[in-house]
Structure 1
Amino acid sequence: MIAGLALAAGSDDQRNFVASAAPKIDLLGLVAAVVLLATGFINLITAGVARRFVFSTSFMAVLAIKIALFIVMIVVMTWSMRVGAVIRAVVARERVDAVPGAMTRMVRAHIAIVAMGGIALILGTWLMGS
């Protein structure tokens, strides 16, 4: 999505990006979310077996934060995908003035998702070491 910011606002390239590349990026994000959920579950089982499923209060607190972050990430991704679908419909009707603003909102959403993912990764590293 950041690549979309490099395109001139309102240009044909930006409209084409929103219409063709953005849905592929959204699909990649969904696949990544499923993989993240699956690997997180596997890591939790692995940590549980190593600890005989006796977790400290701090472990459970960090795990709760990670779960909350994942839920917020999914909500933001869903919102971004809706914006993308609306903007693709608008582009199909040749109303191109809405593309730059929508593109900015979509990029900000993806930046927020990456930031939350980074925090979750750091917390996950802490969990495995605790």
Structure 2
Amino acid sequence: MEARLRTGGASIARLRALRMLARAEEPLRMRDLSEMTGVAARTTTTIVDSLERDGLVERVRHPHDRRAYLPRLTDKGLMCHREAEALDRRALAEATATLSADERTQLRTLLARLHAATS
């Protein structure tokens, strides 16, 4: 998946940040984005800087804290997110194509348990 994303100028880390920003009900603080993506604050800043440089994210002033800026997806960022999610779904479908329906259900169940145990 990483190799496929890289050909389009993306990465798993960038996709994860785009995903969190797209799914957020309100703009996220950088600290919250860092926690949600599971990467260090400095790495999050680097990722957001690169997304901003590519026109996928813009920083907007926090409504209650004049010192803070919040990353927000641009229209281009939303489109990129949709395309990356489609690529992610295709890659997952290819990776699980040899599994039966029951095996895919079992895999989803096991992954959900692992996610719950590590969250």
TM over 0.5: no
Task: Normalising by structure 1, report the TM-score.
Answer: 0.30
Task: Normalising by structure 2, report the TM-score.
Answer: 0.32
Higher relative contact order (CA 8 A, sep 6+): 1
| Structure (1 or 2) with the larger CA radius of gyration | 1
